[in-house]
């Protein structure tokens, strides 16, 4: 599809309606998604506790790209392309590892953990290895959460850190640890997964387990007595009662979105679990359960659910035009021990069962959208945030590239 055809398609889009079929099926639009959004936005790669020792590394792959996220011998966390500077082979093949150097197994070129070429045997005499490094990717930390960005000059991450500092401090995520991490493959375009995450119109019919305890499944939860009661308790429990909303930003903040929005749990639930009772020790400096939960967002495709005793991080990435991945990380207190302080199955139950249900509805959505007879339909008021995502997406597709760089 030509650029002018894409722009016409954007201009033909009806307000508050789902997107045209081509946005989920056209290969040129998919390439534009990758180039304009994924190669320019801050993306969650992992938690620093996953690479605690010098030499530890893990891979973050999406849309045919692969990044090595490594802790150097100096303790610094860096990220670089998993593409050898000799003839382009993948270097690291396992999902994670620990080594003093990274060795390409094709011809044996060896790299330091900051990407510098350290050794290349039998090259010509005039070969200057000091001029060669793996391509670096920008890295920023948000309370121990590692974010990466491919752009040459990404939007400043300091705004995210500053904007969320007060809200995140009580959770002490820098000292949290990963209790479980799981990737869910989804046979659908990545946008259908993000749109689904951004609305709770489907929650009551699709998620009976979630709907038992979460007011978002029901309309009008950010007002009224229940909301006021949770906000009033937040301070006493050591939590912020602020709402932060810098979401789906245009240039110059593009791809560095951030939001923190606390809302009430219902039916005496104090956390996201099967019966609403605690599943892990209170995080950080939080003193008690306030009866609320937080929606967190950092960048356009990383979301979080913050409870008093655990945090669930969601990241959506494309694999191909019609397959995506939902990567979920469950964080608990750094000193919590599985089997003693929490039970991993109980901790992960709610968002595992909910994600399996989401995977099913998203995949059925793709199947329907693939139909030659699909036409975009009207959205409900409970899908306002999904529309925020869609309208930001459409603007991103239409604008000159420099406006979003
Ligand atoms: Fe890596 Fe040749 S491609 S050493
Ligand atoms: Fe859902």
Q: For residue range 169-184, what is the model confidence (pLDDT) as tens digits?
A: 999 999 999 999 999 9
Domains and CATH numbers, the chain: 43-139 (2.102.10.10), 158-398 (3.90.380.10)
Closest Cα to atom 2 of ligand 1: 107
Provide the terminal-to-terminal Cα distance of the chain, rounded to the nearest Å. Answer: 22
CA-108 nearest atom, ligand 1:
4
CA separation for the pair 165, 205 (Å, rounded): 36
The model's pTM is: 0.97
Mean pLDDT of 189-214: 94
C-alpha 266 to ligand 2 mean position (Å): 18
CB of 77 closer than 6 A to ligand 1? no
Helix intervals (H) in 198-312: 203-206, 208-211, 224-236
Q: Which of 53-62, 241-250, 314-323 has the lowest mean pLDDT?
A: 241-250
- Residue 225 above 90 pLDDT? no
CB of 109 closer than 6 A to ligand 1? yes
CA-107 nearest atom, ligand 1:
4
CB of 104 closer than 6 A to ligand 1? yes
CA-89 nearest atom, ligand 1:
3
Mean pLDDT of 269-298: 97
- Cβ atoms of 180 and 345 closer than 8 Å: no
CA separation for the pair 330, 309 (Å, rounded): 11
Instruction: Return the pLDDT at 216.
Output: 76
CB of 84 closer than 6 A to ligand 1? yes
Mean pLDDT of 315-337: 98
Mutate to test the pocket of ligand 1, among 68, 92, 106 (most ligand atoms within 8 A of CB): 106
CA separation for the pair 105, 110 (Å, rounded): 9
Residue 238: CA atoms inside 13 Å, Cβ hemisphere, count? 16
CB of 87 closer than 6 A to ligand 1? yes
CA-88 nearest atom, ligand 1:
3
Q: Of 309, 45, 312, 47, nearest to 177 (Cα)?
A: 47
- Residue 404 above 60 pLDDT? no
Q: Which ligand has an atom closest to residue 122 CA?
A: 1
C-alpha 73 to ligand 1 mean position (Å): 23
- Residue 81 above 80 pLDDT? yes
C-alpha 120 to ligand 1 mean position (Å): 9
- Residue 220 above 90 pLDDT? no
Higher pLDDT, 41 or 404: 41
């Amino acid at each position: 599809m030509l650029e002018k055809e894409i722009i016409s398609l954007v201009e033909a889009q009806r307000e508050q309606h789902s997107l045209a079929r081509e946005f989920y099926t056209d290969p040129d639009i998919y390439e534009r998604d990758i180039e304009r959004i994924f190669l320019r936005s801050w993306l969650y790669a992992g938690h620093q506790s996953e690479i605690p020792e010098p030499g530890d590394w893990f891979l973050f792959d999406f849309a045919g790209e692969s990044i090595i996220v490594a802790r150097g011998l100096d303790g610094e966390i860096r990220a670089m392309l998993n593409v050898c500077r000799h003839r382009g082979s993948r270097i690291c093949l396992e999902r994670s590892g620990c080594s003093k150097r990274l060795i390409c197994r094709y011809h044996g070129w060896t790299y330091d953990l900051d990407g510098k070429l350290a050794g290349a045997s039998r090259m010509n005499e005039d070969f200057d290895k000091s001029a060669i490094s793996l391509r670096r990717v920008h890295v920023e930390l948000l309370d121990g959460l590692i974010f990466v960005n491919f752009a040459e000059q990404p939007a400043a991450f300091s705004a995210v850190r500053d904007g969320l500092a007060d809200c995140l401090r009580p959770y002490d995520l820098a000292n949290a640890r990963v209790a479980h991490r799981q990737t869910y493959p989804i046979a659908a375009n990545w946008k259908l997964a993000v749109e689904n995450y951004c609305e709770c119109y489907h929650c009551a019919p699709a998620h009976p387990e979630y709907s038992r305890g979460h007011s978002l499944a029901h309309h009008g939860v950010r007002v009224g007595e229940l909301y006021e009661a949770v906000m009033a308790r937040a301070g006493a429990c050591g939590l912020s009662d602020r709402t932060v909303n810098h979401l789906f930003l245009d240039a110059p903040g593009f791809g560095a979105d951030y939001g923190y929005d606390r809302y009430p749990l219902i039916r005496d639930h104090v956390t996201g679990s099967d019966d609403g009772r605690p599943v892990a020790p209170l995080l950080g400096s939080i003193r008690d359960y306030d009866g609320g939960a937080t929606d967190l967002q950092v960048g356009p495709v990383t979301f979080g659910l913050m409870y008093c005793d655990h945090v669930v991080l969601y990241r959506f990435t494309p694999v191909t035009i019609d397959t995506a991945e939902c990567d979920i990380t469950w964080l608990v207190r750094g000193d919590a021990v599985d089997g003693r302080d929490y039970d991993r199955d109980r901790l992960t139950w709610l968002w595992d069962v909910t994600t399996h249900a989401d995977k099913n509805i998203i995949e059925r959505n793709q199947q329907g959208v693939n139909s030659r007879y699909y036409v975009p339909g009207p959205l409900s008021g409970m899908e306002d945030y999904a529309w925020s995502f869609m309208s930001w997406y459409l603007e991103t597709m239409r604008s000159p590239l420099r406006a979003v760089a």
